[in-house]
Amino acid sequence: MAFRKNKKSEEFLRLENLIEKDRLGTTCDFSTLFKIDIENLFSEYCELSDKPIISLTREKDTFIISVTVKANRIKTFAVSKN
C-alpha cells in the first residue's frame, strides 16, 4: 500500500533539521552558515540563478557533501600574474 505523504509542518521541518544536526554532530547554525559561505564563494565565479542545495550525510567516519548550484552565467575575469 502506498501511503500518502503528509505535507511537512513547520514542526516536522524543525525535527528534520534537528535530526540532521544530530547525525552530523554539528551546532544548530552550522548548516545556515555553511550555505551562506558556499553561496558567497560561488557568487564570486558565477551568476547564481538559485540558492545552492547542500546535502551533508555521514557514513561511518566519512562525510559526504554534495553541492548543487544553478547559475545563469559564468563570470569571466583575468588573473593578474603579479
Partner 1 sequence: MARKIVFTSGKGGVGKTTLVSQIGRKLASLNNRVLLVDADFSLNNLDLALGVENFVVYDLFDVLSGNCRIRQAFIKDKYEKNLYILPSDKLSANSSFSAQNIKTALLGVSKLFDFILIDSPAGIDNGFKRAVLCADEAVVVINSSFESLRDADKVINIIKSYDIDKVSLILNRARGDLMMSGYGVSAENVKDLLKCSLLGVVPDSDALLTLDGKKLSRLSSADKAISMICNKILTGRGDIYDPTLKYKGFFGSIKRSLRKSN
Helix (H, G, I), strand (E, B) or coil at 43: helix
| Residues of span 10-29 touching partner 1 by CB under 8 A | 11-12, 15-16, 18-19, 22-23
- Per CB under 8 A, does 1 bind partner 1? yes
Return the exposure string of 9-47: e unless at least 16 CB atoms fall within 10 Å of the residue's CB, then b: eeeeeeeeeeebeeeeeeeeeebeebeeebeeebeeeee
C-beta closer to partner 1: residue 15 or 41: 15
The residue type of 43 is S
What x-and-dash track marks residues 26-65 binding partner 1 by CB under 8 A? ----------------------------------x-----
Which residues of the chain form contacts with partner 1 (CB under 8 A)?
1-9, 11-12, 15-16, 18-19, 22-23, 60
